[in-house]
Each structure stands twice: as C-alpha cells, then as structure tokens.
C-alpha cells in the first residue's frame, strides 16, 4: 500500500500545513499529539467557512491543541518549508518557547502576523508567510497585467481611432 499524508509522523518542531480550501492554517508539532498555533478567538476547530471569517479579526490567541482537533476533516502535511533557507531551532527550544507563549493574546493580521508567521518564527526564529508572498505576487502580477492591458488598449485606440478621423476628413 502506498503511503498517505497521514502515514508520516511529525517530530517536535515540525510545521504542520492544514489545507482549509482557500487558505492554509499552520501549526507547530510540540509532541504527545499536540500542536501549538495562533488562531483568532472565533476560530472553530477543524476550520470551515466560519474560520474564513476569523481572518477579519485583529486579535488572536496562542493555543495548544490536539493535532486531530485542529486538522478536523481537512488534509494536512508536514511542511518544513524554509529548512533550505534557515536552520531550524532545536526541538527543546521550540517546546520551551511554545510553553512560554501558550494562552497569550497577540495581534493578528493576515498580512503581517498570521498563523504561518507564528509557526515559522517558532521553528526558525524568522516570521515569514509564503501565502502572503504568493498573494502579493499574484496581486502585483494581476495589477501589472491590467496596467499593460489598459496601455495596449489605449495605444490601439489612439492608432485606430486616429485612422477613423483621417478617413472622415478624406470624405
């Protein structure tokens, strides 16, 4: 039988990426079947449409939760996405820092202080969010493409529009 996503067992300090449809929720495995993660106070275990609304919150709590309670019916994977860029902190440091922060209320921002920022800072000591980087790149790409499209349309209108005026003058 081929291995599935759920066959891989996390180790202390592993980043857990949970697929919630339109976004990913991030947590850090801290042992004994538990993760630590940051979630707005109205975040529902297991995600869902209600969790998407929690993105509008500006405050969140650092929570220690059983992995399966956070995953719910969603798929997840271990994704230590920045291991090629940064050295992971030692497992005992991650555990100690997770215990120190558990239960704290913190500012929450989708763009500057989300669950992925929290997880990467705990693992690497650097807060980064690839989701935000990707969203910005897509947004900039769409903006540039729109500007180019408008520019091309304006140029075409100028070229072809002036031709019509010249034809009218000839008649």
pLDDT, tens digit, for every residue of 147-157? Answer: 444 444 444 44
Residue 66 has pLDDT above 80, yes or no: yes
pLDDT, tens digit, for every residue of 123-143? Answer: 999 999 987 766 556 544 444
Helix 130-170 and helix 115-124: axis angle, to 10°? 130
Q: Is 25 a catalytic residue?
A: yes
CA dist., res. 158 & res. 163, Å (int): 9
CA dist., res. 14 & res. 80, Å (int): 6
Which residue matches tokens 């939760």? 65
- Which one has a higher pLDDT value, 21 or 61? 61
Catalytic entry in 25, 34, 117, 134: 25
Alpha carbon of 108 to those of 12, 39, 67: distances in Å? 25, 8, 21
Q: Is 117 a catalytic residue?
A: no
Position 171 scores a pLDDT of: 52
Catalytic entry in 92, 115, 117, 134: 115
Query: Which DSSP string do the residues of 2-44 spell out, in sequence order?
Result: ---GGGSPP-TT-EEEEE-SSSEEEEEEEETTEEEEEEETTPP
């Amino acid at each position: 039988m081929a291995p599935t996503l759920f066959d891989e067992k996390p180790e202390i300090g592993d980043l857990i990426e949970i697929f919630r449809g339109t976004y990913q929720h991030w947590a850090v495995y801290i042992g004994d079947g538990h993760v630590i993660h940051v979630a707005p106070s109205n975040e529902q275990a297991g995600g869902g449409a209600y969790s998407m609304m929690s993105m509008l919150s500006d405050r969140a709590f650092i929570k220690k939760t059983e992995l399966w309670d956070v995953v719910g019916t969603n798929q997840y994977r271990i994704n230590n996405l920045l291991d090629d860029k940064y050295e992971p902190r030692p497992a005992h440091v991650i555990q100690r820092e997770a215990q120190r922060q558990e239960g704290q209320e913190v500012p929450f921002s989708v763009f500057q202080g989300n669950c992925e920022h929290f997880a990467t800072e705990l693992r690497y000591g650097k807060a980064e969010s690839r989701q935000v980087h990707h969203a910005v790149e897509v947004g900039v790409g769409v903006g540039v493409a729109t500007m180019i499209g408008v520019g091309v349309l304006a140029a075409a209108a100028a070229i072809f529009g002036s031709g019509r005026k010249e034809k009218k003058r000839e008649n």
